[in-house]
Structure 1
């Protein structure tokens, strides 16, 4: 038998299958981007919503490995806790069964046979791609073309291995895997770990099943092994991450190992004791999909009630430590770039965190102008350095998102985020300037007049309120609060003109210390600029539908 003529087409078919999965997943992901952001917010509710989210995302991106890698990234970034991560991991195992059902549809829906459907799907997708002009149309074409290529790939693999039906040695390999559960599980785990996709691994198994090569019992053990092999990607991605992120990867491994052990015991009892003859029969593609689905849903149902114990065990194995997070570290992870819609939402959360740091700095600035507390002056300068580092890191991450395949609405969102990040950083700069003015007053032992102090407090309150409304408007996507920012900014402009004129009169009549007078005027400028940048943030909220 010429094995080269089998291996080359099989490898080519596998490549086309994986490429088709990726194209289809990219189109689905772009089309569902906004829904993913909404679903991410549901994570804050409970673990059950996490299961639903994990299943949905995995069904979209066609890879439980990729979903779990993103979960590791979320945990590493502090966006998701371990309880939420556990829910998504359980859901990811369910979502990964979708590809298997697509492949097996050629058996239970004859009109979907690859020979008929694949060429039609690819041609239809190409026509849509060439004639469509909108981004959403391009996404639809990607879904259709990817669907077609996936079927072409599975057909090529099945055709390539069909000569092996006459190979007694090849058949004996699978018979051995069926009789030895441990070897079957190892085989499934190794193949999945190598290609790093349980969906593709199941596709390979289904192509062999289509050629009538796989006994039922061997397929069951291989499928369970595939679920262990898919953990390798997440474990590799956790290298260099925080302890908590590594714990999430260990949770994934424990969940799948426990599920495999439980169902292996059931399978061994069934095939060895209850119904020995069942294991030797040849399995079909649809039956593989059924076993895969029952195993993943069954594992989730069984382990969901005790998932907290799995989390505790993972913490013990990883010896997780809950250390305080360095505020200057950007809590965004490249793993999340696998799904741009969620990466954007995560970036919004990080920008809000940066904005709240500046909010606290602004509160200190309100006090320090009058208390001249040296420790608070130092704190403001340190916080400004923190914001500078955050600004640089978040900006770099947003630029990475902009280079991905995202739709027009998401491109607008990216541009808006870059502007808002810049505005927040500039407000932080002005807070530092105010701390320097306070330091000048302290060094020169200068004081504002009683009237000047009252006016300065009034100006600070207006500008501070403007910024607080701006950050809340951005965090909540509230147009109502954005409009309040614009009102406050107009009030600050009028106030700055009036206070400047009245202060000049006091200076002219020697009612105010000269050193304090210069600081007063400079502080007015800084505060007015803070309100200007707050307005910029509000206008982004009003113009970009997030």
Structure 2
């Protein structure tokens, strides 16, 4: 037996399969744009609807891990509740069975290379982005099946190997099968890949359906590793969503192992009745497992949410991802509507200030929760920016007095300044990431200077928002004074740090991060000044 050929083909084929799956999934997500995220966030008001949305999104992107990570991300951002995410995760498990049915039912392996060629043509020879994304999907689809074909040709000789035969015989132990499936899926981080491999070796008569089913159940447990990884450093709610994914699949695997004999007989009968191959029987088993598991556990979503709350303790600092003050019924009364819009803008300003505080906490103390709050707050600010702007545009469609028209214009400009302040906080968070990655060290003097400038920037933002809220021109004048002081600080601290760089008292990376943070803080001061000038001059 040519071991080198076997290993190269199996490992290479697995690599091609995983690359194709990932590339296809990314192409599908790019083609759909933000619609998938919006679909998950908006149409999951109850667990049953969440299941349906989870199924649809997973079929579209061909990755239950991708859907689960999206759900964890939305919970982390406060856009989805824990109960909603559990429904989506259940649906994702059902949706991923489509890949197994495609692999078993459609003999595409022989046409993998021309499919890849079509994908390459769309990617490299057409300029329109949409065609490039579609090409990415087609290319990934072809690579997926070419990888399976390569693996299949590699594992064929194993059927004559005594050691492999003995190992397969031992897989008659269902517990061992579950363990093998779990470990393999944890390693490759894709249940679609491991089930595809399972179908490939079954096609080569290396494993039967009785041995394959426990491995398949283990695959479903192993796929939860992606959600666990995605929840690291995330909010308590996101960790609970990942825990719910793990518990859901462990309970399902346990139940199916207990009832393994009748389940196996049902799958065999269904296979015989439809004249299905072993590969298709594995697809039947995968579909039956996930659909039945969801139907059994769906009525207990509330209990599952309660259980993970006890397993993953901690307080959840969640933001309300909705506008508090924008009432469509007040659009017909422009004066009142403008007042409501201003309340929402004041809220945006307070969030922008909190974002700076959290970014500073992350920079100085490497607190991952603070980083999460910056990301969450930035997303909320962007959402409020969009909704408040739309609200003000609707108000302007009415007949406004000169004063009302001027105020609407000022509020629209203020929204932009506040959104930019939030962007600069996110920039500081990203600079903190860079300093951690590059292990940049900062002198006590540099830290003191940054803290001093951050403190004044925070005060300046606060005063600009308060001056807007109370139409306080005197306070707005203080903002202008603070902004001038921030400009002086930026120049002074920049010179001092360049001097430290020249004396080799700090590294090039720390110097770059320090100077970029100064620039971001100075720009925050500029936007605060803009808001103050709207108050003072009304323009």
Alignment correspondent of 2:164:
170
Contact 1:219 1:283 in 2 (8 A): no
1:322-364 Cα offsets, whole Å, 9 max, x none, are 45669525999xxxxxxxxxxx999764423478999xxxxxx
In structure 2, relative to structure 1, the CA distance for the partners of 1:2 and 1:345 (3 Å cut) is same
Deviations 1:17-53, CA, capped at 9 Å, x for gaps: 1111122222211222253244134335322222122
The answer on 1:236 being equivalent to 2:229 is yes
Partner SS, residue 206 of structure 2: coil
1:95-125 CA distance string (max 9 Å, x none): 211221221134xxxxx4412x212212222
Aligned equivalent of 2:97: 97
Specify the SS of the correspondent of 1:70: helix
Compared CA separation, residues 199 and 320, structure 1 to 2 (3 A): same
* Contact 1:128–1:141 (Cα < 8 Å) also in 2: yes
CA contact (8 A) 1:351 1:394 kept: no
Alpha-carbon contact 2:20-2:144 (below 8 Å) kept? yes
Structure 1 CA distance, aligned partners of 2:2 and 2:233? 45
Report how far residue 261 of structure 1 moved: 1.1
* Cα distance per residue 1:222-279 (max 9 Å; x no partner): 0100111111221233222222211111101111011111111111455699999x99
Query: Post-superposition shift, 1:442?
Result: 13
Aligned to 1:193: 186
Q: Does 1:160 align with 2:168?
A: no
- The DSSP-based 3-state class of the residue aligned with 1:225 is helix
Asked if the contact 2:476–2:535 (Cα under 8 Å) also holds between the matched residues in 1, the reply is no
Equivalent pair of 1:216/1:283 in contact (CA under 8 Å): no
Q: For 1:497-516, what aligned pairs fall within 5 Å after superposition?
A: none
User: 2:52 — aligned with what?
Assistant: 52
C-alpha offsets along residues 459-512 of structure 1, whole Å, 9 cap, x if unaligned?
Answer: xxxxxxxxxxxxxxxxxxxxxxxxxxxxxxxxxxxxxxxxxxxxxxxxxxxxxx
In the other structure, the counterpart of 2:8 is 8
What is the distance in 2 between the residues matched to 1:34 and 1:314? 29
Asked if 1:298 is matched to 2:292, the reply is yes
SS at 1:75 equivalent: helix
Does structure 1 residue 310 correspond to structure 2 residue 304? Answer: yes
How far is 1:397 from its partner?
9.2
Matched, 1:390 2:385: no
For structure 2, list consecutive stretches of 5 or more residues without a partner in the other structure.
320-349, 360-374, 390-416, 432-459, 479-529
In the alignment, does 2:465 pair up with 1:431? yes
Q: Assess if the C-alpha contact under 8 Å between 2:41 and 2:80 holds in 1.
A: no
Give the Cα separation in 1 of the matches to 2:56 and 2:476: 59
Aligned-partner Cα distance in 1 for 2:186–2:122: 36
CA pair 528-299 structure 1, distance change in 2 beyond 3 A: farther
1:246 maps to 2:278: no
Determine whether 1:255 maps to 2:248.
yes
C-alpha RMSD over aligned residues: 4.2
- Which has the greater radius of gyration? 1
Segments of structure 1 that go 5 or more residues without pairing to the other structure are: 107-111, 333-343, 359-384, 400-425, 445-521, 533-546
2:109 — aligned with what? 114
Aligned to 2:126: 132
Q: Deviations over 1:260-309 (max 9, x none)?
A: 11111111455699999x99xx9721111111111111111111111111
Q: How many residues align?
A: 383
Task: Provide the residue aligned with 2:69 in structure 1.
Answer: 69
Question: Do structure 1's residue 203 and structure 2's residue 196 form an aligned pair?
Answer: yes
Asked if the contact 2:472–2:535 (Cα under 8 Å) also holds between the matched residues in 1, the reply is: no
Q: Distance in 1 between matches of 2:531 and 2:258?
A: 74
2-side partners of 1:274 and 1:17: how far apart? 27
With over 3 angstroms needed to count, the CA separation of the structure-2 counterparts of 1:438 and 1:356, relative to structure 1, is: farther
Structure 1 residues 272 and 126, CA, compared in 2 at 3 Å: closer, same or farther? Answer: closer
- 8 Å Cα contact 1:19-1:149 kept in structure 2: yes
Distance in 2 between residues matched to 1:222 and 1:119, nearest whole Å: 30
Report the equivalent of 1:526. 534
* Cα distance in structure 1, aligned partners of 2:29 and 2:268: 43
Match of 2:212 in 1: 219
Q: Distance in 1 between matches of 2:48 and 2:259?
A: 26
Does the residue aligned with 1:258 lie in a helix, a strand or coil?
A: helix
Verify the 8 A CA contact 1:22 1:61 in the aligned structure 2: no
Match of 2:493 in 1: none
| Distance 1:150-1:98 versus aligned 2 partners, 3 A rule | same
